Amino acid sequence: MDREDATNLLLQAWQEKWIAAVTGTWTKKLIPELGPWLGWKHGNVGYYLSQFLSGHRGFGIYLPRFKRRQLPNCMYCGQEDTPCHTFFECACWEDLKARYNIKEITPETTTKYMLRGKEEWLTIERFVAEIIRAKEVDYKKREELL
């Protein structure tokens, strides 16, 4: 077996395990196919992008587990604060989506868009970072008022 065949066989095994895994449903929604994701050549996964891709840290659905928040609701609209809600459903961020020209992006198309090129990667990275930073600031303000 040559190197390319071995790589393809390994990737196929990883993909099967990825699909079968019961955890990481949000990440699997964003990255349904490992091959293109593993082959990207631009961009870095930093602090904010890792939160977005993992669905951890600054989301109401995640925070009650660590006693950081009592309810999993969005502070802007009251809906359940999941990563999907934050980036794709909450009306609070519609103007920001329009500014970044990504109104048509869905969870299923996000990484495909990112992998098109460096500019697309940076667009999502900046969009995600801006929302997470705003949520952190607004949440601190809200805590101070309580």
pTM exceeding 0.95: no
User: What count of other Cβ atoms lies within 10 Å of the Cβ of residue 121?
Assistant: 20
Residue 70 has a pLDDT of: 60
pLDDT category, 61, cuts 50, 70, 90? Answer: low
Expressed in angstroms, the distance from the first to the final Cα of the chain is: 64
CB contact at 8 A, 111 and 31: yes
Average pLDDT, the chain: 89
Q: Measure CA 138 to chain center.
A: 20
Q: Is the dihedral of CA 84, 71, 125, 16 positive or negative?
A: negative
Listed in sequence order, the residues at least 6 apart from 18 whose beta carbon sits closer than 8 Å to its beta carbon are: 28, 34
Residues 35-51: pLDDT tens digits? 999 988 888 999 999 99
